[in-house]
């Protein structure tokens, strides 16, 4: 089978492209979230080339979108679109301006200059979190802005995936798993 999908490749690529669009991701963001190279993502987003998607590519796309491969392949687009919650900000200049105006640490200012697209995707809460880490000898200095932004992006992606799973028959399993993890991170006093 040589790792290629066998049926509906153009339709599947178009479905993936529409879901990416619904999430509000550009090519670079989707490539980063799916761990795919930009050329592959470009081919997905321009499916008119007739090239079939490799199974590994379909799997990476599904994972990034918070779906199973089966859901991505079989569910109609109309059922998948409502699950694409947690759309990032549309890159508003106000978001970047607010962050830039309140940033006092040179490392944070430099990161904003280099990463305007990513900065524009930060929510107000995420901006507040980043700004609270500023200060001489603070976490942004010690560990770096990029590291903390990556953690924020990972948390956002996890929340999106949880929303997607919560809309499936796996809600009960998700509740059990989160309950077990929650017990592990809570101090003993909270459990009594």
Q: Give the CATH number of the domain where residue 74 resides.
A: 1.10.260.40
Tally of domains within the chain? 2
In the numeric block, which tokens belong to residue 189?
Answer: 């006093």
Percent above pLDDT 90 for the chain: 9
Looking at the structure, do residues 66 and 101 belong to the same domain, yes or no? no
pLDDT at 156 over 80: yes
- Would you say residue 2 lies in a domain? no
pLDDT at 8 over 60: no
Looking at the structure, do residues 174 and 90 belong to the same domain, yes or no? yes
- Give the helix/strand (H/E) hosting 77: helix 77-80
Q: How far apart are the C-alpha atoms of 3 and 56, rounded to whole Å?
A: 7
Which pLDDT score is estimated for 89? 38
Range of the domain at 18: 9-84
Residue finishing a domain among 84, 118, 133: 84
**pLDDT tens-digit readout, 39-92:** 888 888 886 666 688 888 898 888 888 888 888 888 888 777 766 654 433 446
Q: How far apart are the C-alpha atoms of 149 and 130, rounded to whole Å?
A: 8
- Would you say residue 3 lies in a domain? no
- Would you say residue 4 lies in a domain? no
Q: How far apart are the C-alpha atoms of 169 and 167, rounded to whole Å?
A: 7
Looking at the structure, do residues 185 and 112 belong to the same domain, yes or no? yes
Task: Report CA torsion sign: 134, 108, 155, 142.
Answer: negative
Looking at the structure, do residues 119 and 145 belong to the same domain, yes or no? yes
- Would you say residue 175 lies in a domain? yes
Residue finishing a domain among 19, 49, 84: 84
Which pLDDT score is estimated for 177? 93
């Amino acid at each position: 089978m040589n790792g290629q999908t066998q049926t509906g490749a153009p339709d599947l690529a178009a479905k993936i492209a529409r879901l990416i669009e619904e999430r509000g991701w550009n090519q670079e963001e989707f490539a980063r979230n799916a761990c795919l190279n930009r050329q592959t993502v470009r081919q997905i987003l321009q499916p008119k080339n007739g090239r079939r998607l490799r199974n590994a590519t379909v799997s990476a796309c599904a994972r990034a979108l918070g779906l199973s491969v089966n859901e991505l392949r079989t569910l109609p687009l109309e059922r998948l679109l409502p699950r694409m919650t947690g759309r990032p900000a549309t890159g508003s200049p106000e978001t970047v301006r607010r962050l830039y105006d309140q940033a006092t640490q040179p490392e944070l200012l430099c990161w904003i200059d280099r990463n305007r697209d990513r900065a524009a995707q930060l929510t107000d809460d995420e901006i507040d979190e980043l700004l609270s880490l500023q200060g001489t000898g603070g976490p942004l200095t010690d560990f770096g802005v990029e590291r903390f932004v990556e953690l924020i992006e990972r948390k956002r992606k996890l929340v999106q995936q949880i929303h997607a799973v919560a809309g499936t028959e796996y809600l009960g399993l998700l509740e059990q798993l989160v309950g077990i993890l929650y017990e592990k991170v809570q101090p003993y006093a909270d459990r009594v």
